[in-house]
Structure 1
Amino acid sequence: MNHNTVYDGNKFMGSLFMGIAVVNFNGMTELAMTVKRLPTFYKQRELLGLPGWASLCSIFVVNIPMSLMETGLWTCTTYYSIGYAPSPIRFFQQFLVLFAMHQMSTSLYRLIASIGRTQVMVNMLGIQALIAILILGGFVISKDDLRPWLHWGYWASPFTYSLNAVALNEFYDKRWATVFHFENVNTTGEAVLKVRGLINEWHWYWVCVGVLFGFSLIFNLLSIFALEFLNSPKEHHLKVKPRKVQDIEYNDQVCGGWKNPTDGGNLPFQPLSLVFSQISYFVDMPREMRKHGATEERLQLLRDVSGAFRPGVLTALMGVTGAGKTTLLDVLAGRKTGGYIEGTINVEGYPKRQEIFSRISGYCEQTDIHSPYLTVYESLQFSAYLRLPTEVNSHKRDMFVEEVMELIELTDLRNAMVGIPGVTGLSAEQRKRLTIAVELVASPSIIFMDEPTTGLDARAAAIVHSKKDSEHRAHGGLHNSSAKH
C-alpha cells in the first residue's frame, strides 16, 4: 500500500486494528477451555490437592509457547505482505505488542471464565467485555469523539494501549517522515496519529507494552482469587440432621493420630467407623426425560440407604448393574459435585465434614489413572508428598513409601515406567496394585475401592484381593476398606 498521505495512513490503521482484534479473538478460546477445567479443579481443591495459584501458574506457563507461536505466525504472515515498515526492529516491536495483547486477552477471558463458571454465563460476559473494550479502544470511536464522562473507559480498555503501541511503531518509521504541517505536527505519520486521536510521543510505546503486561498480571491475580474463593455452581447440598458438634473435638478425634508419630515405618492413623442413614440422592431431571413425559423436577438415584462400615472390616457393596453402587460410594466419599444429597453421614459419631474427611480417606477409582511417564516409585512419592501431613519429615515419608511398595509387592517394579494401558508399561493387575498403593501411601483411615477386580482375570483378581488382605494384617486391621463388586 502507498504511504504518502494521511488517507494512506488511515488504511494502515484499519489493518493494524484488525490484527489486534484477531489476536484478541484467539484469546477467547480460553473461555471454553477454562470452563471445562473447572469441574476437575473444584474436585481437586475440595480434596486439598490443588490450590488455585498452582493451577493457574501451570496454565499460564504452558500458555506462553502457544501464545508465542500464534502471534508469531500472524506477524510473519501479515507484516510484510501488508506492507508495514520494512525495518526488522519494527517487525519485532509489533510482534512484542501482539504477544502482550494475546497474553492480556487470555488472562482476561480466563478471569471471566473463573467468575462465570458456566458456559452460558461466560459466553455472555465474554461478549460484553469484547464489545466494551472494542468500542472504547480508540478506533471505533476516537478519543476526541468520546463524551468526557467516558474517558475513563478509554484509558481502562486494553485495546487503547495495544492500538497506540502498534500505531506509534508504524507511523514513527522514517518512511512516514514526509513534511506535513497540521496542528503542531510536522510529519505525515504524526498527522495520522493526531487525526485518530492517538498518543503522539514515542516513549509511550514502551509504556503501552508495560501496561498490557500489567493487565495480564492483574487479571491472573484476580483469577487466583476467583479460583480460591468461588465454589462450583453445581455444588451439592447435604442436609444433615441438627446436632451440636464441637469442631476441636472432631479434629482431635480424626486427626489426633498425627500429633505423636511413632519411630517405625508405620505411620499412625485413627481407626474410624463410618455410619450413614437414610441417604437419598437426587439430580435435576434430564431434559430428554422431560420430553418423554416426566413431570418431576428431580430424578432420584438413591432412596433411603443406610449402613455402617466398621474399622478393620472389608465391607463389600454388591448389586446388579445400575443399582447405584458407584453413586453410593461417590456420595459417601464426597465426590459428587452436582445434585442434592439428603440424609446423615457420621464419622465416629460426628457429622462428616468434607474438608477433614478428604484428608483421612482414600478412593481407588475403577479406572486406573496414572501418569504414563513416571515410574512406580515416582508415582508413590508424588502421592505421598502431596497428601501426607507436614509433620511427617522426608525420611519418614520415604520409609513409608518403601514399606507400602514391599507390602503391595511393587519393589521389583520400582523403576518400571507406568506406560500407556494396553500398549506399554505395567499390566492391568500391576496397575491396579499401583492404584491401591497410591492411596495407601496417604495412610488413610478409610479406603473406598470401586470395582477393584473389574477387567482382571481370576489370577490377577486373586493377587489384588491378597494385597488387600495383607494391607489389613500389616496395619493391625485399622483401615476400613469399602469395595464395590
Structure 2
Amino acid sequence: MPMCSPASAIYDRMMKDLHGPVHPSLIEDKTKHIDPIPEFHQNFWDSTMGVVQRQITLTMRDTAFLVGRSVMVIMMGLLYSSVFYQFDEANAQLVMGIIFNAVMFVSLGQQAQIPMFMAAREVFYKQRRANFFRTASFVLSNSVSQIPLGLAESLVFGSIVYWMCGYVSTVKAFLLFEVILFLTNLAMAAWFFFLSCVSPDLNVANPVSMMSILFFVLFAGFVITKDQIPDYLIWIYWINPMAWGVRALAVNQYTDSSFDTCVYNDVDYCANYNMTMGEYSLTTFEVPTEKFWLWYGMVFMAASYVFFMFLSFISLEYHRHEAPENVTLDSNNKGEASDDYGLIRTPRSSPTGGETLLSVAPDREKHFVPVTVAFKDLWYTVPDPSNPKDTIDLLKGISGYALPGTITALMGSSGAGKTTLMDVIAGRKTGGKIAGQILLNGHPATDLAIRRSTGYCEQMDIHSESATIREALTFSAFLRQGVDVPDSNKYDSVNECLDLLDLHPIADQIIRGSSVEQMKRLTIGVMTGLPPSLPENMTVQDYLEDIFLMKHSEIWKNFGFVLGFIVLYRLLGLLTLRFVNHQKK
C-alpha cells in the first residue's frame, strides 16, 4: 500500500494528531466512565452456570445427533455381544479382544464431535471478544455437557457387552467396568475437544485426529503388546489413555477371586506355568497382575481428562484462531493490480477548491455482446394451496426493461413479489403458469437462451476452498464459454473480472480463510463477473446512494451487462443477471 509523502499536508496533519497530547476531557471521560466498568458483568459462578445451562440445552435440542448416537451405541453393543455371546473366559485372546474393542468404541466415537466443537468455538470467539463470559466458563460448560452423554453411552453399551458376553458376574466388577468405560469416554472426549481448540480449522483437525487415533490403537497394548514396543516409543504406551483403560479392565476381570485358582477347566496352571489362571491370562498380553493397576488406571484417565481440558483453556485463552488464515501462491500476475496506480494524482495539500480527481482506467476489449432485457405484461399464476381448483396471480401484468451498463433495484416489502419477478425473468420457476414476454435484445428469451446467457447469483457462497481465487474464475470462464472462444479471450475475461471486483490483490490467495465480503465478490465473479457486493460496515442506504450518485459511473458505463438488486428495507439479497455470448437460438 502506498504511503503518504512526508512533504504533503496530509502527512503533517496526521503526525500532529498522532503525537499531540490527549485532550483532558477525554482522559476525564475515560477515568469516570470507562475504568469503573468491569471486564465481566457477572461473577464466575453465575456466568458459568448460565453457559452450562445454555450448552446442555443446545445439546439436548440436537435430536438428530442424540438419536444417531443412541442407535449406534445400541447396535454396536448388540453386534459385539451377539458375535461373542458367553465367551470362554479361559480364552484370554478373546476376552482381551472384546475389552480392547469396547475401549476403542467409547474412545474413538468422540472423534465425530470435532465439527460440533469447531462450530461452538466460532461462537465462543465472538462472544468472548464481547466479554460475555470467561474462557474457563466455556471450557467447563463443554466438559459438563459431555458428562450425561458419556454416562448414558457407557451404561448402555457397557451393560449390553458385559452381561451378554459373560464377564465376571459380580456387582463390584460390573460397576468398575462401567466407571472405567465412562472415564475413558471423558478423557478421549477432552482430547478431541483440545484438538478442535488448537487446530486452525477442520481441515487440520481431522487429519491430526486420525493420526492420533492411529497411535492410540497401535500402542494400546493389544495390537502390539508392551514388551514388543521399541524402547524409544514405549513412552507412547504409558501416556495412552486407551492403554490404561485396556489394562484396568483386564485387571478388573482376571483378578477376581474366581480366577485366583490353580485348576480351571481341568488345566493345572500352577503346575504348568507356576501361576494362577488369572495371572497366566494377564501375562499372556503382558498386563501386570497387581490389583492396584486398576485404581491407577482410573486415576490416570481422570487426570488426563483434567489435563486436556486445561490445555483447551490455555489454547482458547491465549492462542485463538480468530483471523482467517490465507495462503498466497506465487504468480506472474502479481503486479497487474497496481498498473493503473500511476494515473492517479495524490494531492500534496488539502483540497480547497472543487477539483475532482478520477482514476482513468484503460479501455478493455469486451468479449461479450451487450444485452437489453425487457419484459412485457408478465403474469405468473400458481394453484391456490387451500383450494387447488383456484389460482393465485403472484405477478399481474408487470412490464419493464433494463439496459446494459445500468443497475435495476427492485424494492418493496416482504411478499411484494420481488424474488418471484427475478426468478421468472431468470427462468428459474418450474411450477405454475407464466404469461407475457421476456426479451433479450428484442428476441424471445427461450429456456436455452436463458441458460446459456444468464448467471444467477444467490446468497450462498460455495467454492472449492483449496483453489485460488484466480483458479476459480478461470475454471468458470473456461466452462461458461464455448470452445470457439480463444483461450486468450477467456484469460482476458478473467483479468477483467479481477479488475471489476477488485480481486487482483488477493487473486492468488487460497479461497479458504477469505472474508465474507471477499467470498461474496468471488461468487459474483464465478457466476456473473459483476461488481462487488455490499462492502463490510456499509449500510444498504450508503451503497444505493453510492450507486445513484454515480460515484463509479465510469466503471458502470464500460460494462455490457445488467445488474438486478432486490432490496427489502435493510436486507439486501443480491440476485444478478449477466448476459454473455448471446446466441440467437
C-alpha distance in 1, partners of 2:313/2:112? 19
Number of equivalenced pairs: 273
Residue 48 of structure 1: CA displacement?
A: 2.8
Q: Are 2:500 and 1:291 equivalent residues in the alignment? A: no
Residue 99 of structure 1: CA displacement?
A: 0.3
For the residue of structure 2 that corresponds to 1:292, the secondary structure is helix
Q: Which residue of 2 aligns with 1:228?
A: 317
Q: Which residue of 1 aligns with 2:124?
A: 41
Distance 1:156 1:454, change over 3 A: closer
Residue 205 of structure 1: CA displacement?
A: 0.5
> Which blocks of at least 5 consecutive residues in structure 2 are unaligned?
1-85, 263-268, 327-464, 478-492, 504-530, 540-566, 573-585
Pairing of 1:16-35 with structure 2 (within 5 A):
16-35=99-118
C-alpha distance in 2, partners of 1:178/1:287? 72
Q: Which amino acid aligns with 1:327?
A: E
C-alpha distance in 1, partners of 2:498/2:121? 24
Deviation per CA, 1:191-248, whole angstroms, max 9, x where unpaired? 11111111210011111101001001000000011111223264389xxxxxxxxxxx
Q: Which residue of 1 aligns with 2:232?
A: 149
Residue 78 of structure 1: CA displacement?
A: 1.2
Deviation per CA, 1:326-378, whole angstroms, max 9, x where unpaired? 73249xxxxxxxxxxxxxxxxxxxxxxxxxxxxxxxxxxxxxxxxxxxxxxxx
Q: Are 2:537 and 1:328 equivalent residues in the alignment? A: yes
C-alpha distance in 2, partners of 1:286/1:81? 60
**TM-score, with length taken from structure 2:** 0.42
Residue 288 of structure 1: CA displacement?
A: 6.0
Contact 2:252–2:294 (CA under 8 A) maintained in structure 1: yes
Residue 26 of structure 1: CA displacement?
A: 1.4
Distance 1:288 1:139, change over 3 A: same
Contact 2:168–2:256 (CA under 8 A) maintained in structure 1: yes
**Pick from 190, 202, 215: which aligns with 1:119?**
202
Contact 2:87–2:95 (CA under 8 A) maintained in structure 1: no
Deviation per CA, 1:378-433, whole angstroms, max 9, x where unpaired? xxxxxxxxxxxxxxxxxxxxxxxxxxxxxxxxxxxxxxxxxxxxxxxxxxxxxxxx
Residue 63 of structure 1: CA displacement?
A: 1.1
**TM-score, with length taken from structure 1:** 0.51
Distance 1:45 1:451, change over 3 A: farther
Q: Which amino acid aligns with 2:107?
A: N
Contact 1:285–1:299 (CA under 8 A) maintained in structure 2: no
Q: Which amino acid aligns with 2:227?
A: D
Residue 285 of structure 1: CA displacement?
A: 3.4
Contact 1:172–1:202 (CA under 8 A) maintained in structure 2: yes
C-alpha distance in 2, partners of 1:182/1:451? 89
Q: What do you get for the CA RMSD once the two structures are aligned?
A: 3.3
Distance 1:451 1:101, change over 3 A: farther
Contact 1:4–1:178 (CA under 8 A) maintained in structure 2: no
Q: Which amino acid aligns with 1:53?
A: A
Q: Which amino acid aligns with 2:140?
A: C
Q: Which residue of 2 aligns with 1:85?
A: 168
For the residue of structure 1 that corresponds to 2:270, the secondary structure is strand
Distance 1:295 1:167, change over 3 A: farther
Q: Which residue of 2 aligns with 1:207?
A: 296
C-alpha distance in 2, partners of 1:164/1:189? 14
Pairing of 1:320-469 with structure 2 (within 5 A):
324-325=533-534, 327-329=536-538
Residue 132 of structure 1: CA displacement?
A: 0.8
Residue 29 of structure 1: CA displacement?
A: 2.0
Q: Which amino acid aligns with 2:145?
A: V
Q: Are 2:193 and 1:110 equivalent residues in the alignment? A: yes
Contact 1:39–1:232 (CA under 8 A) maintained in structure 2: no
Shifted more, 13-22 versus 168-177: the winner is 168-177
C-alpha distance in 2, partners of 1:137/1:71? 19
Distance 1:231 1:90, change over 3 A: same
Q: Which residue of 2 aligns with 1:174?
A: 257
**Pick from 31, 47, 64: which aligns with 2:147?**
64
For the residue of structure 2 that corresponds to 1:231, the secondary structure is coil
Q: Which residue of 1 aligns with 2:442?
A: none
**Pick from 129, 132, 136: which aligns with 2:212?**
129
Contact 1:38–1:117 (CA under 8 A) maintained in structure 2: no
> Which blocks of at least 5 consecutive residues in structure 1 are unaligned?
238-282, 304-321, 331-449, 456-485
Residue 120 of structure 1: CA displacement?
A: 1.3
Q: Are 2:302 and 1:219 equivalent residues in the alignment? A: no
C-alpha distance in 2, partners of 1:38/1:115? 10
C-alpha distance in 1, partners of 2:494/2:184? 50
Contact 2:92–2:284 (CA under 8 A) maintained in structure 1: no
Q: Percent identity?
A: 19
Contact 2:87–2:165 (CA under 8 A) maintained in structure 1: no
Greater C-alpha radius of gyration: 2
Residue 186 of structure 1: CA displacement?
A: 2.6
Q: Which amino acid aligns with 2:202?
A: Q
Q: Which amino acid aligns with 1:104?
A: A
Distance 1:50 1:185, change over 3 A: farther
Q: Are 2:275 and 1:186 equivalent residues in the alignment? A: yes
C-alpha distance in 2, partners of 1:451/1:47? 29
Contact 1:3–1:175 (CA under 8 A) maintained in structure 2: no
C-alpha distance in 2, partners of 1:327/1:58? 33
Shifted more, 13-22 versus 50-59: the winner is 50-59
Contact 1:165–1:209 (CA under 8 A) maintained in structure 2: yes
Q: Which residue of 1 aligns with 2:286?
A: 197
Q: Which residue of 2 aligns with 1:54?
A: 137
Q: Which amino acid aligns with 1:211?
A: F
Residue 4 of structure 1: CA displacement?
A: 5.7
C-alpha distance in 1, partners of 2:187/2:277? 31
For the residue of structure 1 that corresponds to 2:275, the secondary structure is strand
Contact 2:125–2:322 (CA under 8 A) maintained in structure 1: no
Residue 123 of structure 1: CA displacement?
A: 0.7
For the residue of structure 2 that corresponds to 1:86, the secondary structure is coil
Residue 154 of structure 1: CA displacement?
A: 1.3
Q: Which amino acid aligns with 2:130?
A: L
Residue 97 of structure 1: CA displacement?
A: 0.3
